[in-house]
Structure 1
Amino acid sequence: MTKNDLIELVARKAHLTKKAAMEAVETFLNEIQRALVKGDKVILSGFGTFKVDQRAKKKMFLRGKEEEVASHRTPNFRPGKTLKRAIRK
């Protein structure tokens, strides 16, 4: 499913115009991104949790030589129990 597919689905199920559905989906995604950039967790009960993890610096063997990868933040998603059960069915 693409973002455009999601927008069309929201428009149809919520009886919204495509433009209104696009604004709703964009706002939802932007607010998740804004919270993660701030370092906050986003908990969607029954669906899962988005959070940011801090990765430590490490050394890797790349392109025939050893290179150091700097520490960095990376987004992480942990599915909730309801989502896990739905997928297992």
Structure 2
Amino acid sequence: MNKNELVSAVADKSKLSRQDATTAVDAIFDVLQETMANGDDVRLVGFGTFSVSHRAASKGRNPSTGAEVDIPARNVPKFAPGKGLKDAVNTK
């Protein structure tokens, strides 16, 4: 499912216009992104938790030349599914 299909599904399920559903989906994505950019978690009970994890700097190798490469430290987004989502996926 891509974003357009998600917007259509939200519009159908909630009886919103497509434009209102697009606004709602965009707002959810913006809030998730802003919250995680601040280093905070988003916990949706029954669905899952969006969190930010820190990955330390490390050394790697260029596969074509074998040269050593420095990989900088960075923050990475993570998602851990909740029990409700796990159960829903495993019942079908």
TM-score interval (norm. to shorter): over 0.9
Name stretches of at least 5 consecutive residues in structure 1 with no aligned partner: none
Q: Give identity over the alignment, percent.
A: 39
Question: Equivalent residue for 1:4?
Answer: 4
Which SS does the other structure have where 1:73 is aligned? strand
Q: TM-score, normalised by structure 2?
A: 0.92
Instruction: Give the whole-Å Cα distance in 2 for the aligned partners of 1:88 and 1:20.
Output: 32
Q: Give the alignment's Cα RMSD to 1 decimal.
A: 0.8
Structure 1 residue runs of 4+, over 4 Å off? Answer: none
Read off the aligned partner of 2:69 and give its amino acid letter: E
Tell me if 1:37 matches 2:37: yes
Instruction: Give the whole-Å Cα distance in 1 for the aligned partners of 2:35 and 2:4.
Output: 23
Q: TM-score, normalised by structure 1?
A: 0.95
Question: Equivalent residue for 1:48?
Answer: 48
Read off the aligned partner of 1:87 and give its amino acid letter: V
Question: Equivalent residue for 1:26?
Answer: 26
Q: Which residue of the other structure, out of 75, 78, 82, is the alignment partner of 1:76?
A: 78
Give the aligned length: 89
